[in-house]
Structure 1
Amino acid sequence: MAAAQGVRGCLLRGPLRARLGRGCSSGAPVRQQQQQALVAAPAPAQELPSTRRKGFLTEHAAPFSAFLTDNFGRQHNYLRISLTEKCNLRCQYCMPEEGVQLTPKSELLTTQEIITLARLFVKEGVDKIRLTGGEPLIRPDVVDIVAQLYKLEGLQTIAVTTNGINLARLLPRLKEAGLDAINISLDTLVPAKFEFIVRRKGFHKVMEGINKAVELGYNPVKVNCVVMRGLNEDELLDFVALTKNQPLDVRFIEYMPFDGNKWNFKKMVSYKEMLDTVRQRWPDLEKLPCEASSTAKAYKVPDFQGQISFITSMSEHFCGSCNRLRITADGNLKVCLFGNSEVSLRDHLRSGASEDKLVQIIGEAVGRKKKQHAGMFNISQMKNRPMILIGG
């Protein structure tokens, strides 16, 4: 932390990047080449001795903030903000069957607190914000939040991850407010199985939301599919087929352990197993290039309009290039999805902490980020929030 403070004087507080025209995109910033030059991800994480950290930051950080750069040289330019703990579905891998104890409304971040924190992170170098939940689209002022985020100088991408139930109705207004990218959760193409997985009806509303996103020009529309053995791994090829005539990026996600989801290693279908299944049907499947900080391994069937991706959190972690931070709906900063260490930004905000003090607190938390998560089997034994209370 001292090293970070020592070099702060030679760093710019935020990107001096004017926001150019913003089109609908997958979440890749509009000025992708410029961003890659400014916020180039470092090589896989290696501990930087304190004597070297100052030199590393001086050489690599400008105009990026030292306070969002950890002890392994990872620059965190991507912030995920949970808008609510509530959800209109009860997905098996996300929420315990009995539900969760929700935080009292008074202890959740207000809209102004969300924007205040977002502005602070953007000044320090964050250029992508994703709104999550719970289900973010059930928050009554979600359109207004997007509109206020759009005004932040230097923020290049505003994205949302949604279950799609309310998407078709809200998307025209969200697009007008400035929403750039959409991820839609869909774990099955069978309506009856959908109800079993999410413990609610709504399959046709989700499909309507996907179609509305395509209609409004989002390209690609990302579809998140958590693959669970004995439940939906038999639908892999059907999901891939969806990409033939539509600009979709179907993202197959390895089943991950969180409190209450009864994770079992035997239920997890690994990336390599999924890839083998797809290649048996499409042997000419092509691997696509991706950004160093990407969590997805991307592939494309030749001549298909869309593509597929694999999120390999369990079998092949991507901790070494992680550029993500998370703020929970109750205002806690999590520097790792699988870590149980949190710091309350809400409490500091409400106690009147100055902007400099908040930045220092954030920087100290980022500085404590570990080289990688605990590993596939140890994670399942760790105490952590249910996914719905984290925000993904």
Structure 2
Amino acid sequence: MTQLVNQYTPQKEGGLSDSPASDSTEFVDNFQRKFYYLRLSITDVCNFKCTYCLPDGYHPTGRKNSSFLDQSEIKRVVNAFADCGTTKVRLTGGEPSLRKDFTDIIASVAETKGINKVATTTNGYRMAKQVDDWKEAGLTHINVSVDSLDPKLFHQITGENKFHDVMNGIERAFEIGYQQVKVNVVLLKQLNGHSLPEFLHWIKTRPIQLRFIELMQTGEMDTLFQQQHQSGVSIRNHLIANGWLLKIKEANDGPAQVFVHPDYLGEIGLIMPYEKGFCETCNRLRVSATGKLHLCLFGDQGVELRDLLEQDQQEGALIERIQGALKTKSVSHFLQDGNTGMTPHLASIGG
């Protein structure tokens, strides 16, 4: 891709620094990748039935010891990551707002020394009523899933007639002072694959970072993947041809290639996991809602951490176990080679 010059400086919430904490103890793998970003699932329950994730709705697994991490366990795992240089925590699901203590969890993470970004990814159906509380608790960044701007197609993709509720939630976030909301769109070739003009019109006067995410093949989605996968390359080519510029990443940013344009208040992000070199800048680790460390969204069964989250005095052993696991982290997810890993669906470990 043509090297582009960044002419824009990233917006920051509340004047917080985005530089990783300076500490002699860091989470680093054998490929010298440093991990400043924790994606922490707090539930795998979801009330939507998205075509690409849980088309038949959520079904409990019935696995033994499947209760979700409680607030004290969440606090301990976040403290350990923060002490090893992590500066950003994203609370995921399932749908994280389904937890009755979601706001308390936000507050607990936000007050952790060293954490300067507290984000969530939500389907947005509760935002209009609850986002005020989330912001007051310390939530700095919000990602909302909106796979179509057509209410009927939104209903078809998500299984829920909640389009206007989600839109109202996004508008409420702006009303209470969020400088930017990120909106996730999973590219589905036969459904929203040609919706770029509508989305561009929507973000021209709104501070939304619209992120097109390529459909990823999971264990339960082989047929859907073959039918609906669409590369983001054509979108990127269109953006470059029309004057969009690539934005420089910060250390704890996610994997999106973000483009900006002087005539647009909004931004466009592209997440293309099948592109060569996608994993070279990996900076994030995942912990599931039941306390397993996942080195990759498409990795193995995970590393058990929960036995070390029972008492405050176990942080040293917890850090040691995570560091040991990082020595086994692969250089790539190998999606491009047809590997789908052990992840049954994206809700199982927080996407």
In the superposition, the TM-score normalised over structure 2's length comes to 0.89
Counterpart of 1:233 (choices 190, 193, 215) is 193
More moved, 295-304 vs 236-245? 295-304
- Give the aligned residue type for 2:248: P
**Cα deviation code 1:139-161 (max 9, x no counterpart):** 10011111111221111110010
Residues 337 and 317 of structure 1, relative CA distance in 2, 3 Å threshold = farther
Deviation of 1:221 (Å): 0.8
Counterpart of 2:233 (choices 241, 250, 272) is 272
**1:192 corresponds to 2:152:** yes
Larger radius of gyration: 1
Counterpart of 1:375 (choices 335, 338, 344) is 335
- Give the aligned residue type for 2:36: N
Deviation of 1:188 (Å): 0.3
* Contact 2:76/2:312, CA 8 A, preserved across alignment: no
Residues 312 and 144 of structure 1, relative CA distance in 2, 3 Å threshold = same
* Contact 2:80/2:315, CA 8 A, preserved across alignment: yes
Q: Distance in 1 between matches of 2:194 and 2:147?
A: 11
Residues 89 and 317 of structure 1, relative CA distance in 2, 3 Å threshold = farther
Counterpart of 2:267 (choices 295, 301, 307) is 307
Q: Identity percentage over the alignment? A: 35
Counterpart of 1:110 (choices 58, 64, 70) is 70
In structure 1, runs of 5+ residues without a counterpart are: 1-23, 40-61
**1:69 corresponds to 2:55:** no
Deviation of 1:240 (Å): 1.5
Counterpart of 2:258 (choices 298, 301, 305) is 298
**Cα deviation code 1:307-333 (max 9, x no counterpart):** 111011123452111110101111110
- Give the aligned residue type for 1:140: K
More moved, 120-129 vs 97-106? 97-106
Deviation of 1:73 (Å): 0.8
Name the structure 2 match of 1:171: 131
Give the match's secondary structure for 1:383. Answer: coil
More moved, 142-151 vs 253-262? 253-262
Deviation of 1:350 (Å): 4.4
Give the match's secondary structure for 2:142. Answer: strand
Q: Distance in 2 between matches of 1:127 and 1:284?
A: 33
Q: Distance in 1 between matches of 2:183 and 2:261?
A: 17
Q: Distance in 1 between matches of 2:336 and 2:103?
A: 37
In structure 2, runs of 5+ residues without a counterpart are: 1-9
Give the match's secondary structure for 1:93. Answer: coil
Residues 233 and 106 of structure 1, relative CA distance in 2, 3 Å threshold = closer
Counterpart of 1:208 (choices 168, 178, 185) is 168
Counterpart of 2:89 (choices 97, 109, 129) is 129
- Give the aligned residue type for 2:40: I
* Contact 1:103/1:330, CA 8 A, preserved across alignment: no
Counterpart of 1:30 (choices 4, 16, 26) is 16
Residues 316 and 218 of structure 1, relative CA distance in 2, 3 Å threshold = farther
Give the match's secondary structure for 2:309. Answer: helix
Give the match's secondary structure for 1:208. Answer: helix
Deviation of 1:100 (Å): 3.5
Residues 335 and 184 of structure 1, relative CA distance in 2, 3 Å threshold = same
Deviation of 1:379 (Å): 2.4
* Contact 2:257/2:271, CA 8 A, preserved across alignment: yes
More moved, 194-203 vs 268-277? 268-277
Q: Number of aligned pairs?
A: 339
Deviation of 1:291 (Å): 3.2
Q: Distance in 2 between matches of 1:117 and 1:78?
A: 13
Counterpart of 2:245 (choices 286, 293, 305) is 286
**1:259 corresponds to 2:251:** no
Deviation of 1:138 (Å): 1.0
In the superposition, the TM-score normalised over structure 1's length comes to 0.80
Name the structure 2 match of 1:49: none
